[in-house]
Chain A
Amino acid sequence: MKQFLVTLALLISFTNLVLAQETKQDEKTLQKLPSVTLKTADGKTINTADLTNDGKPMIISFWALWCKPCIKELTTISEVYDEWVAETGVKLYAVSIDDSRSSARVKPTADGKNWDYEVLLDVNSDFKRAMNVNLIPHTFLLNGKGEIVWQHTSFSEGAELELIELVRKVARGESIEDHN
């Protein structure tokens, strides 16, 4: 009990310290992608810190074959993905956290569903941990500089409409500070 409270107190004071550091909003540093080595669904080795989309927005979506809302989200977006790409130049990376039990089924499933995304395999959840993802689906939006400007966990019908609105703003270089 004592240990618990002491640790909590430490955590809170640490958080305070962290908060106190944030003085000016406009100096806020935006997080870039951490460096984790992953394989693409067709066997290439890539470093996540090197993911780019030529200055255009990027979406990174964590999913798994067993996750129903994840499949729903990616299927819903795939119906309008062509239009999204044509309009904003956005690129979606679908990061599967399926482990070696089912990672071999990821590419055939994504192809079978007609998805046009770049599929990455995070078989031991290294990228998931580095991105502090607790639950999936978890979706990140990055601006043209590769900075994370927005993220959201879970998917509900219509969430893709909010996402494309944000992608449009990011593609125009507008701030999306108020959206969370």
Chain B
Amino acid sequence: MVWSYRAVKTNLSMMKSLKHLSIALILTLFSSSLSAQTVLGGEVHGSFEIDGQLYKSDNSLGITSESLNGKKAGFNGFGNLTYTLGNFTAGMRYEAFLPPLNGFSNNYEGSGIANWYADYKNDLLQVTVGNFYEQFGSGLTLRSYEEWALGYDNSLRGLRLKLTLFKGVTIKALVGYHREYWKEYTANSRGLVKGADIEFSLNDLIPSFSESKTRITIGGSIVSKYEKPINKTLVIPGDTIIYKYDFPANVAMGAGRININHGGWNFMSEYAYKANDPNATNNYIYKAGQALYSTLSWSTKGFGIMGGFKRIDNMGFKSRMTETGQILDINFLPPLTKMHQYSFAMMYPFASQPNGEMALQGQVDFTIPKNSLLGGKYGTQITFNYSRVTNIDKQQVDDATAIDQTGTLGYKSDFFAFGGELYYSDLSLMIGKKLNHSLKGTLGVMIQEYNKDVMEGHKDEYDNVKSTILIGDITWRLNNRHAIRFENQWLFTKQDKGNWVAGTIEYTVSPNWFFAVQDEYNYGINDVSSDHSATDGDLEKIHYYNLSAGFIKGNSRIAVSYGRQREGLLCVGGVCRQVPAATGFTLTLTTSF
């Protein structure tokens, strides 16, 4: 009896999901016939996206009805509409997660108007009420943004003002609270964020400097969080007194930045300082936070070189002190590592460490000219990149206090010292070459090391994953519209899940169609050495096969795929989402008008 009831229930939820899909599909196709429209004298624009998945049990991947919680389908969708009349713009964003795709937070379940705003803008000022996205400088003090594919949205809802008092001076001021899934704002739920930013463009500001070949921009920002202090007690073993944390209601952060351009040179630097902010990320220590991010580059046609340095020290900043998840971030700590274009090179990706990291990056890009020995008829493009991230140096504040001890100043740290623990390193070389009218290819090699314990939040459980990745990618243009692409990737490692090989064949008919077959094969470990953390016998050899096809017309795209999705981290920008292994059918639909 119970079983049959369950069966009916699941089928119903699946039918509901399918119904949502079909309604949304009709809506999307409907709207795709629109182009810029006029309503009440203003213009209406918008965009839609629908991501649907039907899930299947798959014993090889350990996916069972139980592990899926009976979930047969997932559905994420959004629709944006904006209305513009002269200087006035208003918009809203509708979202539906019914239920959310696997890997997205269940807190998203539901639907409704997630964001809305109204905006007025003229030459002097811009006023926004409602939800807005903003970034000060490189984001060290404040950044609100949205990544649909990751389910990340820390838009601020409140009031924003931008003033351009005179040419060359821009002032921004804002107050608001973060979006947290569908949760209503209350004074106890999360803090308020207030901020101001000013930027001077010296070339626009100083008349005698306007024609200068050197361009200088300086800026500064202040951000403050107000949060009602909570009651939290601290028990020290062996001590009879129960201590109470004294939390600051307001936490302030400030930053200064400079940009200098001269000819091919480009220099950017931003320094940020955060007042004491005991929170769940830093184990409730009272140390102030600091960050420095600098890059220098030089380039000319055919050659570019860039170097970067970054230090982060206790810079996690969320609008709720007890939060440790990837939500409610006030600031953005840009990772200083390359985001690769190939999936195996992103199998072990770096994520910023708010509690402390020292990072270096260098890149050289150049083209070997055409009609030279190595350049051939069409020239050869080379990209070389190296990045390395370690912990920061940490010393005890005094003999009686352990490093990172809660309720204390935590630690002392030498600003320019690299710590001894490697978090991540990546050496990569990519070579791109057109061979003749119809053939072109890319070769790549990466040597990476990944601190699995730190990146994935374990404590001394795993060895670092050392991997070598090889990539070969060839595109053969059959004629002006038809092309076929072969991609081959290898990943060799003795740690974690061992070796992988992948092949993709993609056929495109420009500009409307694509068809692809892919298999990623995790064949484990051949060479058993003494320091391995997994052995051949521990791992089942698994094929992650996938078939996909898509149709594109103008700005609408529909794609379907069937197959297995490998467990892993999907990263865009500075954020990563853990994608669970899945088997099934996926539909993606996107359009705009």
Shortest distance between the CB of A126 and any CB in chain B (Å):
7
Within A106-130, which residues are at the interface with B (CB < 8 Å)? 107-114, 116, 123-126, 129
Given A11-B94, A14-B81, A113-B367, A66:B39 Cβ within 8 A? no
Q: Which listed residue (B121, B139, B510) contacts A156, Cβ 8 A?
A: B510
| Docked-complex contact A107 and B266, CB < 8 angstroms | yes
| A79 touches B (CB below 8 Å) | yes
**Contact segment of A30-38, A51-59, A85-93, A167-175:** A30-38
Give the number of A-B contacts (CB < 8 Å). 230
| Docked-complex contact A111 and B299, CB < 8 angstroms | yes
Shortest distance between the CB of B16 and any CB in chain A (Å):
7
| A68 touches B (CB below 8 Å) | yes
| Docked-complex contact A104 and B268, CB < 8 angstroms | yes
Chain B residues with Cβ below 8 Å from A161 are 480, 510
Given A29-B43, A43-B215, A153-B555, A112:B574 Cβ within 8 A? no
Nearest-CB residue, chain B, relative to A47: B123
Chain A residues with Cβ below 8 Å from B509 are 156
Q: Which listed residue (B43, B339, B341, B379) contacts A101, Cβ 8 A?
A: B339
Q: B-facing mask of A117-160, CB < 8 A → 1, else 0?
A: 00000011110010011110010000000001011111011110
Given A43-B215, A75-B432, A107-B299, A134:B554 Cβ within 8 A? no
Chain B residues with Cβ below 8 Å from A75 are 381, 432
Q: Which listed residue (A14, A105, A162) contacts B306, Cβ 8 A?
A: A105
Shortest distance between the CB of A119 and any CB in chain B (Å):
11
Q: Which listed residue (A11, A18, A124, A135) contacts B145, Cβ 8 A?
A: A124
| Docked-complex contact B43 and A31, CB < 8 angstroms | yes
Bound complex: CA of A99 vs CA of B111, how far in Å?
Answer: 29
Given A19-B34, A125-B145, A102:B339 Cβ within 8 A? yes
| B243 touches A (CB below 8 Å) | no
Bound complex: CA of A79 vs CA of B365, how far in Å?
Answer: 17
Please tell me the number of chain A residues within 8 Å of chain B, measured between CB atoms: 71
| B238 touches A (CB below 8 Å) | no
Bound complex: CA of A159 vs CA of B481, how far in Å?
Answer: 7
| Docked-complex contact B552 and A154, CB < 8 angstroms | yes
Bound complex: CA of A100 vs CA of B573, how far in Å?
Answer: 9
Given A100-B332, A135-B557, A151-B554, A7:B112 Cβ within 8 A? yes
| Docked-complex contact B94 and A7, CB < 8 angstroms | yes
| Docked-complex contact A101 and B334, CB < 8 angstroms | yes
Bound complex: CA of A4 vs CA of B338, how far in Å?
Answer: 40
Given A14-B81, A43-B261, A104-B306, A30:B36 Cβ within 8 A? yes
Shortest distance between the CB of A54 and any CB in chain B (Å):
22
Within B264-281, which residues are at the interface with A (CB < 8 Å)? 264, 266, 268
Chain B residues with Cβ below 8 Å from A102 are 334, 338-339
**Contact segment of B45-53, B187-195, B541-549, B579-587:** B45-53
Within B312-355, which residues are at the interface with A (CB < 8 Å)? 332, 334-336, 338-342
| Docked-complex contact A17 and B39, CB < 8 angstroms | yes
| Docked-complex contact A157 and B341, CB < 8 angstroms | no
**Contact segment of B3-11, B23-31, B63-71, B526-534:** B23-31
Chain B residues with Cβ below 8 Å from A44 are 215
Chain B residues with Cβ below 8 Å from A68 are 341-342
Bound complex: CA of A148 vs CA of B450, how far in Å?
Answer: 45
| Docked-complex contact B557 and A154, CB < 8 angstroms | yes
**Contact segment of B130-138, B229-237, B407-415, B453-461:** B130-138
| Docked-complex contact B133 and A129, CB < 8 angstroms | yes
| B304 touches A (CB below 8 Å) | yes
Given A112-B381, A129-B133, A180:B554 Cβ within 8 A? yes
Bound complex: CA of A125 vs CA of B555, how far in Å?
Answer: 18
Chain A residues with Cβ below 8 Å from B39 are 17-18, 21
Given A15-B31, A43-B261, A158-B483, A67:B365 Cβ within 8 A? no
Chain A residues with Cβ below 8 Å from B20 are 4
Given A12-B30, A159-B511, A108:B297 Cβ within 8 A? yes
Nearest-CB residue, chain A, relative to B147: A125
Q: A-facing mask of B422-457, CB < 8 A → 1, else 0?
A: 000000000010100000000000000000000000
| B283 touches A (CB below 8 Å) | no
Shortest distance between the CB of A180 and any CB in chain B (Å):
4
Chain B residues with Cβ below 8 Å from A114 are 301-302, 367, 379
Bound complex: CA of A85 vs CA of B191, how far in Å?
Answer: 53
| Docked-complex contact B483 and A156, CB < 8 angstroms | yes
| Docked-complex contact B27 and A11, CB < 8 angstroms | yes
Nearest-CB residue, chain A, relative to B303: A112
| Docked-complex contact A105 and B363, CB < 8 angstroms | yes
Nearest-CB residue, chain B, relative to A12: B27
Bound complex: CA of A1 vs CA of B111, how far in Å?
Answer: 8
Q: Which listed residue (B96, B366, B510, B591) contacts A157, Cβ 8 A?
A: B510
Shortest distance between the CB of A17 and any CB in chain B (Å):
7
| Docked-complex contact A8 and B43, CB < 8 angstroms | no
Nearest-CB residue, chain A, relative to B214: A43
Leading 8 A-B pairs by shortest Cβ distance = A112-B365, A108-B304, A157-B483, A158-B510, A111-B299, A104-B295, A180-B554, A112-B304
A100-B137, A111-B301, A158-B480 known; 19 new pairs, CB 8 Å cut-off, are A4-B98, A19-B37, A29-B38, A44-B215, A75-B381, A99-B139, A100-B135, A104-B295, A107-B304, A108-B305, A109-B304, A112-B365, A124-B133, A124-B139, A126-B133, A132-B46, A132-B80, A148-B36, A154-B552
Q: List 27 A-B contacts (CB under 8 A).
A: A7-B94, A11-B79, A15-B27, A19-B33, A19-B37, A66-B341, A101-B574, A104-B306, A104-B308, A105-B306, A107-B299, A108-B306, A111-B264, A111-B302, A112-B367, A124-B143, A126-B133, A132-B82, A134-B591, A148-B36, A152-B511, A152-B554, A153-B556, A154-B557, A158-B482, A159-B510, A180-B553
**Chain A residues close to B by CB (< 8 Å):** 1, 3-4, 7-8, 11-12, 14-15, 17-19, 21-22, 28-31, 34-35, 37, 42-45, 65-68, 71-72, 75, 79, 99-102, 104-105, 107-114, 116, 123-126, 129, 132-135, 138, 148, 150-154, 156-159, 161-162, 180
